[in-house]
Amino acid sequence: MLYNHNTARTGLNRMMRMLNLRLTSAFARNAKNAFLLFLLACSPSFLNAQAAKPSPITDQDFYDFFNTSDNPYPVSAMIGQCNPDSLKTCNLISTPEYGVLQEDTTQIFQDTLFSIADRAYIRQQCINLRKRQFQWKNGMLKGIKVIDGARVRQVFDSAGADSGWTAYYHIFRQGYNKFSVPLFSLDKTKCIVYRGFECGHTGIGNTNAFVKRNNKWVLALSCGPWVH
């Protein structure tokens, strides 16, 4: 068989054109994919998804909640010195109160106010609370005087059950509030907080869910009320 150089050259040229076409198509696909990724990164839905990542919860977030709440105290139906709403300045135990918060939070989650992602985020905050060792500081909350929780416990331990409140009032003059820190949703527009008040004659408290509207925290749900 004779070797035809023209035929071979024609076949080689055809193969080179096909190879160039494939390379060009591959480059075009890669360029197209890169362009689509660029458009996705600039799209509102992608940006919103990135914005949905929770920002760190700071101590200032805790103070801002109580300073912008419609009613930072649990009740307004008590009288005299045991009504925190009737006092110009209220005492607040420096150590946050977490005792019933986890149980009450589970009860609040029976409502649809918080998303599944919010609930998981709030449960994680519950786990991390005690590790944080946060203490309320004086001068950060409007109308609040922070009193040392360790000193209060020492007063009651030293005076005993019968004389504890007498010794307490001799030093601190009025009853005290006990607040948890607020537990926030992912976007920090909803939260759960425990608030209680003790004055010796009686005590009251509950756990509440708040929603932020027009830069003001408004009461949305309540659970776990107690009175004694």
Contacts of 110 (CB under 8 A, 6+ apart): none
Residue 37's pLDDT is 45
Statement: residue 60 has pLDDT above 90: yes
Please give the Cα distance from 119 to 113 (Å, whole number). 10
Contact 208/219 with Cβ under 8 angstroms?
Answer: yes
Residue 104 pLDDT class (50, 70, 90 cuts): confident
Q: pLDDT tens-digit profile of 2-43?
A: 444 455 455 545 655 654 545 455 444 554 444 444 444 454
Statement: residue 90 has pLDDT above 50: yes
Dihedral sign of CA atoms 157, 158, 162, 166 in order: negative
Residue 87's pLDDT is 60
For range 58-74, the mean pLDDT: 82
Of the segments 4-8, 21-25, 210-214, 223-227, which one has the largest average pLDDT value?
210-214
Mean pLDDT of the chain: 77
Residue 201's pLDDT is 76
Q: Comparing C-alpha atoms, which of 163, 182, 183, 165 is closest to residue 174?
A: 165
- Say if pTM beats, i.e. exceeds, 0.85: no
Statement: residue 209 has pLDDT above 60: yes
Residue 114's pLDDT is 96
Q: pLDDT tens-digit profile of 155-208?
A: 999 988 779 999 999 999 888 999 999 999 999 999 999 988 888 878 888 899
Contact 118/185 with Cβ under 8 angstroms?
Answer: yes
* Residues listed for the chain: 228
Residue 156's pLDDT is 93
